[in-house]
Amino acid sequence: MKRMLAIVACGLLAAVMVRAQSSSSPKPYKVVFDLTTDDPQDQTAVLRWLREVASMNPQNEMEVVMYGRGLSLVVSGRSTLGDEVKQAIGRPHVSFKVCEIAMRNQKLEKSQLLPNVAIVPDGIGEIVARQKDGWGYIKAVAH
C-alpha cells in the first residue's frame, strides 16, 4: 500500500513539474516593428529588440517594416548598421520589408537594398494587414 501511494505521489509530482515547466516557457507571438526614421538610436533599438525578443522565445515571429526615412537602415552604402541587419535577417522568424512607394519616392532600386530585404507594395498596408492577422505593433522610437 505504501509503495502504491509513493508511485501515485511521484506521478502527481512529475505531472505538476511538467506543467510548471511548460507554463514557464513563453508562448510564441508575432510582432511588427514600424520604422520610419533614419535616427541611429531608433535603428539600433529595433535591432536590439529583435535580439531580445528572439532570446525570450526563438519561435517569436518578427517583421520590420520600413518606409519614409526608415529605408536607410537597409540601403547599401547608407546604413551604418549593415552588418547587424545582415545578421538579423539571417535569423529564423525575422524579416525586413520596405515600402515600394517610399522606394519610388526616394528613387531607389532593389539592387541598392541589402540582401534578403523584401519589398511590399505599401508599408502602411503591410502593417495594417499584420495587425488584422493578430500581430502586435511597435512603433520604433527609442527616445
Average pLDDT for 128-138:
97
Please give the share of the chain, as a percent, with pLDDT higher than 90: 76
Q: Which range (10-14, 83-87, 90-94, 100-104) has the least confidence?
A: 10-14
pLDDT, greater one: 142 or 127: 127
Write the Ramachandran bin of 93: left for phi over 0, alpha for psi from -120 to 50, otherwise beta: left
CA distances (Å), origin 34, targets 9, 30, 65, 68, 134: 51, 13, 5, 11, 15
| Residue-wise pLDDT tens digits, 50-72 | 999 999 999 999 999 999 999 99
Which value, in Å, is the radius of gyration of the alpha carbons in the chain? 21
Closest CA to 63 of 87, 40, 36, 30: 30
Per-residue model confidence (pLDDT) at position 142? 67
Domains of the chain as residue ranges with CATH: 27-139 (3.40.1260.10)
CA distances (Å), origin 39, targets 65, 72, 96, 134, 142: 15, 9, 17, 28, 9
Distance CA 109, CA 88 (A): 22
Q: Which range (2-11, 36-45, 115-124) has the least confidence?
A: 2-11
Q: Is the pLDDT of residue 11 over 90?
A: no
8 Å CB contact between 79 and 72: yes
Per-residue model confidence (pLDDT) at position 24? 62
Q: Is the pLDDT of residue 2 over 60?
A: no
When pLDDT is cut at 50, 70 and 90, the band that residue 26 belongs to is confident
When pLDDT is cut at 50, 70 and 90, the band that residue 141 belongs to is confident
When pLDDT is cut at 50, 70 and 90, the band that residue 115 belongs to is very high
